[in-house]
Amino acid sequence: MPTTKDIYRKILKWKYRNISNKQFTNIASAVIGLLAGLGAVTLKNATHLIQHLLEGEFIAEIHSAFYFIFPIIGLLIVLFLVKFIIKKRVGHGIPSTLYAISKQKGIMPKHQMWASILTAPITVGFGGSVGLEGPTVATGAALGSNFAQLFRLNQTTKTLLIGAAAAGAMSSIFKAPIAAIVFAVEIFSLELTLASMIPLLLASITAVLTSYFFLGDDVLLHFNIQDKFELNDVLFYISLGVFTALISVYFSKVYFAIANIFKKLDNPYKKLLVGGVTLGVLVFLIPPLFGEGYETINNVLKGNILAIVENNIFNSISDNIYLVILFLLGLILFKIVATSLTFGAGGIGGIFAPTLFTGSLTGYVFALFVNYTNFFGHKLSLINFAMVGMAGLMAGVLLAPLTAIFLIAEITGGYELFIPLMIVSSISFIITKRYIPHNIYAAQLAKKGELVTHNKDKNVLMFLDIDTLIEKDFIATKPKKTLGELLKENVAKSSRNIYPVLDDKQHFMGIVLLDDVRPVMFDQTMYDKMRVSDIMTSAPEVILSADSTAKVMQKFKESGAWNLPVVKGGKYVGFISKSKLLTAYRNKLIEVTA
C-alpha cells in the first residue's frame, strides 16, 4: 500500500510534468486567497463570539462594574497559551512576515498558521486595544509560505505567494480587493508587473468572495457620502493633512517609546502586570478604548458623537462643545497609549484598526473645531473629514499613501472624495516621512539594514547569506613562529597568498601576505631570525559577523581588497573573497528577477 510520502512524490512529479511554474503560481494564488479569506472569517467570528459572551446577561453586571479586569484576563490567557500550548514566539503580524521575507527566504514557521487565530481573538475580544488585521495578514502569509514550501517553490515565488496571501487577508477584511493589492505592493515592496499582478488579483478575488459567502454584505465601516467635495474646502483639507501628519508622528513616537520601556522588562509576568493594569485603568476611565474600536469609528461616520462622549466614567457629558472636543482629543492621544500597552503586555494584534480609530476622530475633531469656532464662516462636512482623516493617518503611520487613498475610495463606494484623499494622504506622508523614515512595521528591520524595499540592488544584497560565502581553507599561523616555520607550514602547503595570524585563543591579530614574504623567502639566514610578527600587517578591513551584506560590499569598495577576514566575537572565522561575493550577487539577481 502506498505511503503518504509516495503519494506526495507522485503529486510533485505530476505537477512538474503537466503544469508550468506560471500556471501553478496562479492556481496556488487562488487557493491561498481562499485560505486567507477563511482565516479572516475565523478570526473575526471568534472575536465577536468572545465579545458576545462577555456582554451577555451572565456577566453583564460584572462587565459593567469591573470593566478594567477583562483586558488583564485576556492578556493572562494569551500569556499561558503562548507559554504552555504554542511554546514558541508568536510574531506581531506584518513585522514577522517582513522578517521572513528578508531574512528567512520566505519561510515562516508552521505554528504561525494557527497561533494568531488562537491568541488575537482573545486579546481583542477581552478588550485589548489593538486590531485583527495584522494577525489576519500573518496567518494568511504563513499559509502562503507553507503552501509554497510544500510544493518546493523557489524564493521569488514564495515571496509572491506571501504577498498574495496578505492581499487576500486585507481584501476579505475590508471587502476592498483593489486596495488590498495596493497594500501588498506598498507594504511588502512587491514588483508590480504582469507576472505578479495576476496572482495578486486571483488571491484578492477569491478572498473577498469567501468573505461575502460567509459574512454576506456586512462590512466593517458603514459610510454613505452625503456631502459632495467643494473647491472651497481645499485649504481645509491641506490643513487636515498637516494635522494628521502631526498625529501620525505622535503615534509613532509614543509607540516606539513605550515599546522601548517594555523591552527593559525581561519577565513576561512583570510586563503583563505593568501593561495590563495600566491598560485596565485607561479602559475603565475611557471605555471607547476597549477592543478594536470599530463601533466608535462607525458612530463617528454616522455623526452619532453623543454615543461616544457619553460613554465615560461619569456617564454624562457637558453641553460645552469645547469639552466635547477635549474628550475626543483625549481619545486620539490615549488610543495609541492603550495600543502600545496591549503589545507591551504580551497581546497579539495589529495597528491598522487603531490607526483608523485615531484617523476618524482626528478628521472629525478638526472639522468640529472649524465649524464651532466659526473663524472662517465656513461649514465643513464632519463625516467627510472623518473619513479623509482615516486616510491621513494611514498615510502617515503606515507610510502607505496609495493604500490609504484606494481603501477609503473603495469603502465609500465611489470617487467623490478622491481629490481630498489625495491631498491629505500626500501631505501627511511627506511630512511624517521627514521625521519617521520607516513605519512601525518596518522600523526594526530597517535599523538592522534587513528591510525589503523597492530598491532591487539592496534587496539582492540582503537576500545573500554571508555565512555561505565564508572560505575556511586559509592556513593560519601565530605571531611567534619563525619565517622558516611559516614557509614550511603555510607557504608550502597553501594555495592561498594570505595567511591569517591568530593568538592562542584564535583571536584575529593580522595577516601575512605572500608578497611581503617573497623578498626574504630565499634568504636562509633569516629563517630563524625573522618572526611572523615582524612581517604581519593589519587587514585593510575586517568583516564582523553582524555586518549586513551591503556593509560587507561597502568595505570591499573602500578598502580595495579582494579578500577580507571575517571575525565573530573577536575570533577568526575565515575569509570572504570579492569575486565569490560578486558571483553570488549575480546568481541571486538572476533568481530574484526571474
Mean pLDDT of the chain: 85
Strand-strand pairing, 498-502 and 508-513? antiparallel
Q: Where are the domains of the chain?
A: 4-215, 231-453, 459-592
- β-pairing, 563-568 vs 543-544, is parallel
Q: Has residue 146 got a pLDDT over 60?
A: yes
Pair 359, 391: CB distance under 8 Å: yes
Q: Which of 148-162, 353-367, 520-534, 567-581 has the highest mean pLDDT?
A: 353-367
Give the pLDDT confidence of 269-318 residue by residue, as tens digits.
Answer: 999 999 999 998 888 888 888 888 888 888 888 888 887 877 666 555 66
Position 61 scores a pLDDT of 57
pLDDT at residue 159 above 90? Answer: no
Which pairs count as long-range contacts for 265-271, CB under 8 Å and 24+ apart, including other chains? 268/79, 268/83, 268/346, 269/79, 271/344, 271/345, 271/346
Question: With pLDDT > 90 as the criterion, what percentage of the chain qualifies?
Answer: 30
Sort 515 into a burial class: Cβ within 10 Å, 0-12 / 13-18 / 19+. Answer: exposed
For every residue of 455-506, DSSP letters joined together read: -HHHHHHHHS-GGGG-B--PPPB-TT-BHHHHIIIIITT-S-SEEEEE-TT-
Residue 158 CA to residue 180 CA, distance in Å, equals: 18
SS (H, E, C) 420-450: HHHHHHHHHHHHHHHHCCCCCCCHHHHHCCC
Mean pLDDT of 367-376: 84
| Ordered strands of the 563-568 beta sheet | 543-544, 563-568, 571-577
Q: In sequence order, which ranges of 376-435 are alpha helices (DSSP H)?
A: 382-397, 401-412, 418-435
Q: How many CB atoms within 10 Å of residue 481?
A: 17
* C-alpha to C-alpha distance for 506 and 297, rounded to whole angstroms: 62
The angle formed by the CA atoms of residues 73, 77 and 79, to the nearest 5 degrees, is 115
Please determine, for residue 122, whether its predicted confidence score (pLDDT) is greater than 90: yes
**Beta pairing partners, 567:** 544, 572
SS (H, E, C) 68-114: CHHHHHHHHHHHHHHHHHHCCCCCCCHHHHHHHHHHCCCCCCCCHHH
User: Is residue 136 within 8 Å of 149, Cβ to Cβ?
Assistant: no
Give residue-wise pLDDT tens across range 468-496: 888 888 989 998 888 888 888 888 888 88
pLDDT computed for residue 460 by the predictor: 66
The whole-number pLDDT of residue 81 equals 92
Same fold, 231-453 and 459-592: no
**Which are the contacts of 557, defined by CB distance < 8 A and separation ≥ 6?**
none
Superfamily of 4-215 according to CATH: Clc chloride channel (1.10.3080.10)
Provide mean pLDDT across the span 347-373. 92
Mean pLDDT of 451-466: 65
Q: What are phi and psi of 27, to 5 degrees?
A: -65, -45
Model pLDDT for residues 517-576, shown as the tens digit of each residue = 888 888 888 888 888 888 888 899 998 887 877 788 889 888 888 899 999 888 898 999
Tell me: pLDDT of 387 over 80.
yes
Tens-digit pLDDT profile for residues 164-202: 999 999 999 888 899 999 998 888 877 777 777 899 999
* pLDDT score recorded for residue 457: 61
Cell of 219: 462590512
Q: Does the domain at residues 231-453 carry the CATH identifier 1.10.3720.10? A: no
Q: What is the pTM of this model?
A: 0.81
pLDDT beyond 60 at 368: yes
Amino acid 395: pLDDT: 95
CATH number of 459-592: 3.10.580.10
Cα–Cα nearest to 246, from 2, 421, 432: 432
pLDDT of residue 593: 63
pLDDT band at residue 354 under the 50/70/90 scheme: very high
Most confidently modeled of 4-18, 83-97, 251-265, 538-552? 251-265
Euclidean distance between CA atoms 297 and 300, whole angstroms: 5
Is residue 241 classed as helix, strand or coil in its secondary structure? Answer: helix
In this predicted structure, which of 199-208, 223-232, 451-460 has the lowest mean pLDDT? 451-460
> What is the band of 592 on the pLDDT scale with cuts at 50, 70, 90?
low
- The pLDDT value recorded for residue 447 is 62
**Which grid cell is 397?**
503611520
pLDDT value for 454: 55
- Residue 363 and residue 408: Cα distance in Å, rounded? 13
Over residues 354-376, mean pLDDT: 90
Does pLDDT of 461 surpass 80? Answer: no
Which of 170, 154, 164 is CA-nearest to residue 196? Answer: 164
Torsion of CA 4, 10, 11, 13, to 10 degrees: 150
